[in-house]
Amino acid sequence: MQQKLTSWIPVPEHSDFSIYNLPYGIFSKDSHTPRIGMAIGEHIVDLKRVAEAGLFHDLHADLSVFDRTSLNDYISLGKEVTTEIRKRVQQELCDEHSSLKEMSSAIVQQSECKLHLPVKVGDYTDFYSSIEHATNVGKMFRDPENALLPNWKHLPVGYHGRASSIVVSGTPVQRPNGQLKPDDDKPPVYGPSQRLDFELEVGFIVGKENQLGNSIHVQQAEDHIFGLLLFNDWSARDIQKWEYRPLGPFLGKNFASSVSPWIVPLEALDPFRVQGPEQNPEVLPYLRTQGKKNYDINLEVDLQPQGQPEPTTISRTNYRYMYWNMVQQLVHHTSGGCNVRIGDIMASGTISGTDPQSYGSLLELSWSGSTTLKLKGGQERTFLEDGDRVTIKGFARKDDIRVGFGEVTSKILPAKI
C-alpha cells in the first residue's frame, strides 16, 4: 500500500489533482510567457520559480526547460530526471517547513491562469482498440455475425491523424463542411455535417524517441511513454461515411481533436494497474506483454445544450477494458521501423463498455441515429447540435488515493458557410 501523503496546500476532497498526482501542464498568468507548472488541488506550482530557488541544482540537467512554452524539452530530460523532479516537489509539498511556503510567486491559483496546449505535437496516431466499440460499429455497418474484420484480434488497428488541428480544452469546435451523400441514388452535396459526434478517448504522450529503422521492444515500451491525457477525437460521421473507402478517415476527422491541459505522468498511475482482457487468439510474440498493462480509470461524458443550466451525463465507462493496451499500440506502431518523437500523441480510439450506458460515442448511443437520447430539460439528441457543450472527465481511485485528469470540454459552433 502506498505511503499516505498530506500536502500543506489545501486539496478539496474530490479533487483530481491530489498530492499523489502532480500532473504537468503549460500555464500563463497575466502577461507572462507560458511556462511549465504542476497542478495541486486548485493551485499550480510554478516549476520555473522552484528551479530558481535551487531545488534541482544538483541534477545536472538544463533547468532552462521550465521556461519553455511546451513540455517537449522538459520531457527530453528523460524519466530518470523528470521522476526525481516530481519526487522532490512532492516531498516539498508535504514538508511543513518547506521554503516553498514562503515563496508566494511559486504557487498560483488555477483560476487566475490560462492553460495552454501542453506539448508541441509533431505527429498523432489514432487507434481502434476497444473491442466493444469495434464490435458495435461492425454490427451497424457490416455483418452482425462477423462484426470484427479478420485482422482486428491480431494487431492494433490505427491510422495517422492530423496533428495541426489538435487543440486544448476550452477551444470551440467549428462544425465542419464536407461532401455528404444523404441519398444513395443521387450525387453528393457539399455542406455542414449533420452527424457531428464526439469520441471518448485517452491518449498517451511519447516521452522517448527511437531511431528510424529501429523498433521499440515490448519490454522497453513503457520507458517511451511519458504520461496520459484525455482526448476527444471529434468525428463527422456523414462526411466520413462517404469518403473513407478505400483509404480510411480524412476530412471527417481532421477538423479538430481536443485534449485536456494536464498530462498525468505514468508513474502516478502505478496504483491503478490492472490486467487487461484475455487476448484470444494469442497475439504474435512481438506483441506479447507480461504483467498489468491496463489501467483502472473511470471515464464519463457530459452533454449540455446551449441555454440548459445543467449537463446530462450520457456515458460512463472505464479504460481498463481496452483490448489492445498502450504498450502494444506503441510496439506495433514502430515494428516496421517508424520513428516516434517526443510530444507525439497516440490515442486509444473510442472507449466503449458492454452496456449501452457505457458507449463512448453518439454513433453508438443513438445506434446510428435510430434512437434518441433524453437530456435534462426535455431536449433529445441523436448527434450534436450547434451550441452543445461536450465534456469528458476521467479519474482513478483506490482507497484514499485519487488521481484525475481534469476535463476536456468544447462547445460546438455553427459551420462557416
- Run of H or E residues at 273: strand 273-274
Say how far apart CA 36 and CA 62 lie, in whole Å: 14
Nearest Cα to Cα of residue 214 among 343, 76, 334: 334
Question: Cell triple for residue 178?
Answer: 464536407
Q: Which residues on neighbouring strands pair with residue 411, listed in sequence order?
A: 389
C-alpha cell at 48: 520555473
Residue 196 parent element (H or E)? strand 196-197
What single letter denotes the amino acid at residue 352? S
Q: What is the distance between the alpha carbons of residues 300 and 304, in angstroms, rounded to a whole number?
A: 13
Note if 332 is an active site residue: no
- Here the cell at position 309 is 443550466
| Catalytic annotation, pick one of 14, 43, 57, 133 | 133
Measured between alpha carbons, how far is 94 from 36 in angstroms, rounded to an integer? Answer: 21
Q: Where are the alpha helices (DSSP H) in 11-156?
A: 47-52, 72-75, 79-94, 131-141
What dihedral angle (degrees, nearest 10) is formed by the CA atoms of 205, 107, 270, 325? -20
Place of cell 530557488: 53
Phi, psi of 228 (to 5 degrees): -125, 155
Decide: 369 and 383 in contact? Cβ < 8 Å: yes
Per DSSP, the residues of 110-139 read GGGEEEE-SS--S-EEEE---HHHHHHHHH
Contacts of 143 (CB under 8 A, 6+ apart): none
Q: Three cell numbers at 106? A: 511559486
Nearest to 347 by CA among 236, 235, 271: 235
Residue 185: CB partners within 8 Å, gap ≥ 6? none
Catalytic residue IDs: 133
